[in-house]
Amino acid sequence: MRPVESILNIAAYRFVSLSDAADWRESIRSQGQALQLKGTVLLASEGINLVIAGAESAVREFMAWLRRDARFATLEFKESLSEAVPFKRWNVKLKAEIIRMNHPAIQPQARRAPAVDAATLARWLSSGHDDNGRSVVTLDTRNAFEVDHGRFKGAIDWRISKFSEFPQALLAHREALLDKTVVSYCTGGIRCEKAALFMREAGLEHVFQLDGGILKYFEKTGGTHFDGSCFVFDEREALGPDLAPAVA
């Protein structure tokens, strides 16, 4: 049964070349203000990353408006409902990267690492191996404090404090992963995109990213094989497998 809350929260990203990011900043700022939305939109030459909330009709109007541009036509939104807007203001920012890695050679807007969907990962974790019989490990690419709220059972966690530390951590542990199928994951998928490409660059052959991240996994599987909740960067703090605010 659908909850009665009327506030719709959405999260989305897309790596796509945006030579007109500055123009988009002004358009998105105006559109969001007109619809009384709250949240943050990050824009860079490599794409868009957003987490926003508002009245459901307003958010859906914004989603439809954004998708009118061919570059955002296939933008996938992860949705959840809440009783109140979990953001205080409306921010649209220009950045060098929509998720900072400090590794310019990694360009997801040009190529994407292979992805595995939620149902397939759940099946692999249930069987303990992938479809080729290779041992599967999940690799958490989030910051340590996020992991502490919840993670996949047995997931690898290198206790990084920011995503730009991931490349160095991967190189330090590379040898232990060579014979494994590695599935990188994060909150909504954006960090996995760069992490999986970096692992490929580092010579790991059997690497996948979890398509849509933990939030999409919760939506599609109900959180099987996942312990705890998923930290989110808003006033709700963490969501449970039902995508409702987690009980402390």
Which residue from 169, 151, 126, 173 is spatially nearest to 241, judged by alpha carbons?
Answer: 151
Residue finishing a domain among 64, 94, 124: 94
pLDDT of 247 reads 73
Residue 26 domain flag: yes
Residue 164 and residue 121 share a domain = yes
Q: What is the pLDDT of residues 104-117, one digit of tens each?
A: 889 999 988 899 99
Question: What is the rounded CA–CA span in Å between residue 218 and residue 149?
Answer: 15
Is 230 an active-site residue? no
Question: What is the rounded CA–CA span in Å between residue 55 and residue 35?
Answer: 9
Question: What is the rounded CA–CA span in Å between residue 29 and residue 44?
Answer: 15
Is residue 13 within 8 Å of residue 78, measured between CB atoms?
no
Q: The whole model's pTM is what?
A: 0.92
CATH number of the domain at 54, please.
Answer: 3.30.70.100
CATH number of the domain at 156, please.
Answer: 3.40.250.10
- DSSP assignments along 53-106, one per residue: EEEHHHHHHHHHHHHTSGGGTT---EEEEESS---SSEEEEE-S-SS----TT-
- DSSP assignments along 174-218, one per residue: GGGGTTSEEEEE-SSSHHHHHHHHHHHHTT-SSEEEETTHHHHHH
Query: What domain range is 140 assigned to?
Result: 115-239
Strands 136-140 and 90-94: unpaired
Indicate which residue of 16, 51, 85, 186 is catalytic: 186
Task: Please check the confidence at residue 5 and state whether its pLDDT lies above 80.
Answer: no
Q: What is the pLDDT of residues 129-160, one digit of tens each?
A: 999 999 999 999 999 999 999 999 999 999 99
Task: Please check the confidence at residue 125 and state whether its pLDDT lies above 80.
Answer: yes
Residue 247 domain flag: no
pLDDT of 248 reads 63
